Amino acid sequence: MTRYVYDFIDGHRGMADLLGGKGANLAEMTRLALPVPPGFTVSTDACRAYLADGAVPPGLFDEVNAHLREIEVRLDRRLGDRAEPLLLAVRSGGRYSMPGMMETILDIGLNDATVTGLARLSGDERFAWDSYRRLIQMFGRTVHGVPAEEFDRELDALHATAGPDGPTAEQLRGLVETYKKVFADRVGHDFPQAPHEQLYLAIRAVFESWNAHRAVLYRRREHIPDDLGTAVNVMAMVFGNLGPDSGTGVAFTRDPATGTPGVYGDYLPDAQGEDVVAGGRNTMGLAELARTDPTSYRRLTEIMGTLERHYRDLCDVEFTVERGRLWMLQTRVGKRTPAAAFVIAAQLAEEGLISWDEALTRVSGAQLAQLMFPTFDTDATPEPLATGVGASPGAAVGRVVFDNAAATAADPPVILVRRETNPDDLPGMIAAAGILTARGGKTSHAAVVARGMGRTCVCGAEALEIDPERGEFTVGDRVVRAGDVISIDGTTGRVYLGEVPVRPSPVTRYLAGELAPESDRLVTAVDRLLRHADTVRHLGVRANADTPHDATRARALGAGGVGLCRTEHMFLGERRALVERLILADGPAEVAAALADLLPLQRADFVAILRAMDGLPVTVRLLDPPLHEFLPALPDLAARVARAEALGQAPGHDGVLLAAVRRLQESNPMLGLRGVRLGLTVPGLFAMQVRAIAEAAAQRVAEGGDPRPEIMVPLVVDVRELAAVRAEVDAVLAEVPGAPPIPVGTMVETPRAALTAGPIARQAEFFSLGTNDLTQTTWAFSRDDGEGSFLGDYLDRGIVDTSPFETLDPDGVGRLIRLAVSEGRAARPELAVGVCGEHGGDPDSVEFFADAGLDYVSCSPYRVPIARLAAGRAAVAQAGVSDSR
Ligand code: PEP
Ligand code: MG
């Protein structure tokens, strides 16, 4: 027969699956001979059986009774005994902590008879009646769903009429009678007097609370599986509300906000545990306990030291002092802020409690990301005006502008607000402190460019109705005009009206070289852990950088090269006119002339980037986007031409452009004439770029540098495309004297490229996984629209756990990647494989890439430290180092 009940002395902390986190830790404290009230845990197996069958598993309550008798013998008190009643606390506790989500019932065992026994035992009649009314209220709410307010109303009424010392025992006895009436009216029968029945019903109610709506929602948000069930902890009651020499509190072995060593906590004299949590009364610091009861305080600090050494981490505890005697009610490895996580991990490693490898497992890239951005002062945030997708983190405050001209002309800081952005908006994006769009998701143009620049960006705030012509946007009936101040949070996606105060990040100042590592505790910890990550990681970390400035910044942040230089970003600004010439060129001679004008500009760009990354690889991607992206948008042009025609004027250049845009227009441009297809259809385009790269490298060699360019072909789906491009590339390279050998590789960013990786690898010296397009084409989700529209619904409904554009989908896209790696390497064993999609900087995805055997990841410069840390964590995990907590 399955065993369902475990005495605290029978368990240990390794049994959290069965006993829940709380039960396992109570067992561990009991084993350590710490003062835990006697008790037992009903296992998660029992809960799962109950939830599956809708009935308590046979024999469960017999087992409960047997364990109960052991408590009764140990304490020499019995449940239901009139003279010396045992009272019980019943608490939920699943594998993962779900704070406040599930149920607790205290004072089980009180009834009309035992309440007088409790009064005699405690010598405090008021206390006994107060405990009884608490039981009726908690039981009514938890077991039968009676709203707490129905009881609170009566309690408030009593307090309003009570004297200065609070209600008398007689008044509280009257309150109990009223509570019993409320209970009977609401529930349809009397409050159960039989203590065992109370206990059984309480256990069932805890089982049921697993499926309470709020618990289900919480699990979905925290990615906790729905089928784990909760354990139920049944423990002898100890009382913190027996007068001034009693009390209750919570404490941490280190400061969970900053990681500073020492014992921190709150204490409330003459109170029960839920008074602290509910926050009805103001708590005091632990110093109050040290002053009023130094013996208990000393014992508490000793116990906290024992726990921290034993768990080798920050622990938090709940405790109660009953008439000068300390009892431990709970402990667990405590939650902490990202800053505290870094500080504590580094300190524990310094103290020798854990290894530096293990310290890496205690922090995450996501936490580092949070530490790198300025944040809004959370105490000061008002109600958000709207919420979009947090597309590029940070906190930005500025005046609203709607276009490039205003963004560059206005006094900074400004927030550029657009329906969506396109390459035209780059000057405005550069000038702005933050970017807010009404359309698009995390891989939309605005998001990708903003992340690359480290600009705060909120995308897809669909509640915004933007009217640039009138210079305003509206959200419902609120109107925000150009020049009004707004604040946007690129982490949460929230948009606020007015200025919210911002705190700068010391970690970013350190990474930028403005703060020395030893300048503050947090920065020291980040520095040590990042350096350790660098010594253990196998994955290289490169940056996606299109300008010398980004390349320099990325190198300072620890990038080992450029993994993706998107050359289209070099064709913006005033150079667009040259691209326009190329697109409008009539005949080979005009094409050649346009390309010849572009060549020196490209060469100069490459020289500067190769200089910034001297001695390190720089992967330059040949032109990728559809050409019409370099021309004005069709509706704008059409309107201009129509206006000219209405005025009887010749449309002139606009007319020519309009014809070109119409010619190039496609229904699905992302699946149209772009990438390698462009190179094969616009003669001389790729050749010009290749020549510029080779000549730049030759120039760097002549200058005494060590240039290491690599040429990458985008959007290949068939090896014959790559073979055709290679023939052209190799011919050009052979014509440029003085250049070093330049490897030629391809992006793998379509399912077909992944599926035919073997043949493609014969033509490619390296692969770079373009996981943005690969995700888009594998899922058939538009990267520009999906996140702004239905993906939100999918997340809410649990159809996807995270956006596949944010964290790599291991089951679909991941399988294609593993296939591409293995078949590519089978065809060409020395094939280098990296990734340059946005996932390259996502910590969870980095773990996948390490496991898939990639050589490097490439990500936005600011994410380089995050990827370094994640790669370090992946390496220690692969070496079998785990978090020993
Ligand atoms: C990709 O598709 O993952 C990629 C890096 O290319 P882009 O985002 O420029 O399409
Ligand atoms: Mg791509």
What is the domain-level CATH number for residue 274? 3.30.470.20
Backbone phi and psi for residue 174, each to the nearest 5 degrees, phi listed first: -65, -40
pLDDT in tens, 799-833: 888 889 999 999 999 999 999 999 999 999 999 99
For the chain, percent of residues with pLDDT exceeding 70: 97
Catalytic residue (choose from 47, 67, 445, 569): 445
Identify the pLDDT of residue 278: 47
The residue type at 108 = I
Highest mean pLDDT among 10-14, 386-390, 781-785: 10-14
pLDDT (mean) for 782-790: 78
DSSP H stretches of helix in 512-563: 521-536, 548-556
Identify the pLDDT of residue 283: 66
Identify the pLDDT of residue 376: 87
DSSP 459: E
Q: 828 C-alpha to center of ligand 1: Å?
A: 24
Q: Nearest ligand to the C-alpha of residue 845? A: 1
**Vertex 248 angle, CA 245 and 251, to 5°:** 125
The answer to whether position 440 is within a domain reads: yes
> What ligand 1 atom has the least distance to the C-alpha of 564?
5
The answer to whether position 674 is within a domain reads: no
CB neighbourhood size of 645 (10 A): 12
Q: What is the distance in angstroms between the CA of the first residue and the CA of the last residue of the chain? A: 32
Q: 772 C-alpha to center of ligand 1: Å?
A: 5
Task: Supply the residue whose CA is at minimum distance from atom 4 of ligand 1.
Answer: 770
Catalytic residue at 445? yes
Best probe residue, ligand 1, of 713, 748, 749, 809 (max atoms within 8 Å of C-beta):
749
pLDDT (mean) for 795-802: 82
Q: Do 794 and 823 have their domain in common?
A: yes
Q: What Cα–Cα distance (Å) separates residue 640 from each residue in 59, 403, 586?
A: 82, 18, 24
The parent domain of residue 632 ranges over 627-665
Catalytic residue (choose from 628, 836, 839, 859): 836
Q: 564 C-alpha to center of ligand 1: Å?
A: 9
> What ligand 1 atom has the least distance to the C-alpha of 771?
3
Domain count, the chain: 5
Q: Do 537 and 619 have their domain in common?
A: yes
The answer to whether position 513 is within a domain reads: no
Catalytic residue at 653? no
CB neighbourhood size of 472 (10 A): 18
Task: Supply the residue whose CA is at minimum distance from atom 10 of ligand 1.
Answer: 773
Q: Which helix (H) or strand (E) holds 284?
A: strand 284-285
Domain end marker among 665, 692, 714: 665
> What ligand 1 atom has the least distance to the C-alpha of 776?
2
> What ligand 1 atom has the least distance to the C-alpha of 839?
3
> What ligand 1 atom has the least distance to the C-alpha of 773?
2
List, in sequence order, every residue forming a beta bridge with 747; answer none if it has no partner: 768
The answer to whether position 671 is within a domain reads: no
Q: 675 C-alpha to center of ligand 2: Å?
A: 8
Q: Do 653 and 684 have their domain in common?
A: no
Q: Nearest ligand to the C-alpha of residue 623? A: 1
Identify the pLDDT of residue 100: 64
The answer to whether position 716 is within a domain reads: yes
Q: 769 C-alpha to center of ligand 1: Å?
A: 9
Answer whether 420's CB lies under 8 Å from 445's CB. yes
Q: 619 C-alpha to center of ligand 2: Å?
A: 14
Q: 208 C-alpha to center of ligand 2: Å?
A: 49
Count CA atoms closer than 13 A to 240's CA, side-chain side.
25
Q: How far apart are the C-alpha atoms of 596 and 613, rounded to whole Å? A: 26
Q: 624 C-alpha to center of ligand 2: Å?
A: 8
Task: Supply the residue whose CA is at minimum distance from atom 5 of ligand 1.
Answer: 837
Task: Supply the residue whose CA is at minimum distance from atom 9 of ligand 1.
Answer: 566
pLDDT in tens, 68-108: 999 999 999 999 999 999 999 999 999 988 766 668 899 99
Backbone phi and psi for residue 495, each to the nearest 5 degrees, phi listed first: -120, 130
Q: Nearest ligand to the C-alpha of residue 768? A: 1
Q: Do 265 and 207 have their domain in common?
A: no
pLDDT (mean) for 390-397: 87
Count CA atoms closer than 13 A to 699's CA, side-chain side.
16
Q: What Cα–Cα distance (Å) separates residue 301 from each residue in 28, 306, 383?
A: 18, 9, 41
Residue 161's CATH number: 3.30.1490.20
Domain end marker among 184, 201, 236: 236
Best probe residue, ligand 1, of 624, 767, 769, 817 (max atoms within 8 Å of C-beta):
624
pLDDT in tens, 545-585: 999 999 999 999 999 999 999 998 888 877 888 889 999 99
Task: Supply the residue whose CA is at minimum distance from atom 1 of ligand 1.
Answer: 770
Task: Supply the residue whose CA is at minimum distance from atom 8 of ligand 1.
Answer: 772
Q: 608 C-alpha to center of ligand 2: Å?
A: 24
Identify the pLDDT of residue 279: 43
Q: Do 300 and 392 have their domain in common?
A: no
Q: Do 706 and 791 have their domain in common?
A: yes
Q: Name every protein residue with a CB atom under 6 angstroms from any ligand 1 atom.
A: 564, 566, 624, 749, 770-773, 836-837
Question: How far is residue 882 CA from its own chain's centroid?
Answer: 21
Q: Do 786 and 698 have their domain in common?
A: yes
CB neighbourhood size of 876 (10 A): 22
Q: 258 C-alpha to center of ligand 1: Å?
A: 38
Identify the pLDDT of residue 101: 65
For the chain, percent of residues with pLDDT exceeding 90: 73
Q: Which helix (H) or strand (E) holds 320?
A: strand 315-322
Collapsed DSSP state (helix, strand, coil) of residue 820: helix
Answer whether 67's CB lies under 8 Å from 5's CB. yes
**Mean pLDDT computed over every residue of the chain:** 92
pLDDT (mean) for 192-213: 95
pLDDT (mean) for 474-496: 94
Answer whether 487's CB lies under 8 Å from 396's CB. yes
Q: Do 460 and 405 have their domain in common?
A: yes
The answer to whether position 510 is within a domain reads: no
Q: Nearest ligand to the C-alpha of residue 859? A: 1
Q: Do 156 and 176 have their domain in common?
A: yes
> What ligand 1 atom has the least distance to the C-alpha of 768?
5
Best probe residue, ligand 1, of 569, 715, 747 (max atoms within 8 Å of C-beta):
747
Q: Do 620 and 635 have their domain in common?
A: no
Question: In which residue are the tokens 């005091």 written?
Answer: 284
Q: Do 384 and 401 have their domain in common?
A: yes
Q: 866 C-alpha to center of ligand 1: Å?
A: 20
Q: 677 C-alpha to center of ligand 2: Å?
A: 13
Q: How far apart are the C-alpha atoms of 258 and 335, rounded to whole Å? A: 12
> What ligand 1 atom has the least distance to the C-alpha of 568?
9
Identify the pLDDT of residue 526: 98
The answer to whether position 509 is within a domain reads: no
Q: Do 655 and 697 have their domain in common?
A: no
Q: Which helix (H) or strand (E) holds 434?
A: strand 434-437
Please determine, for residue 493, whether its predicted confidence score (pLDDT) is greater than 60.
Answer: yes
Best probe residue, ligand 1, of 565, 836, 849 (max atoms within 8 Å of C-beta):
836
Highest mean pLDDT among 331-345, 359-373, 700-714: 700-714
Please determine, for residue 746, whether its predicted confidence score (pLDDT) is greater than 60.
Answer: yes
Domain end marker among 640, 665, 690: 665
Residue 444's CATH number: 3.50.30.10
Task: Supply the residue whose CA is at minimum distance from atom 6 of ligand 1.
Answer: 770
The answer to whether position 883 is within a domain reads: no
CB neighbourhood size of 587 (10 A): 7
Collapsed DSSP state (helix, strand, coil) of residue 391: strand
Tokens for 546, please give them.
């299109």
Please determine, for residue 187, whether its predicted confidence score (pLDDT) is greater than 90.
Answer: yes
Answer whether 359's CB lies under 8 Å from 346's CB. yes
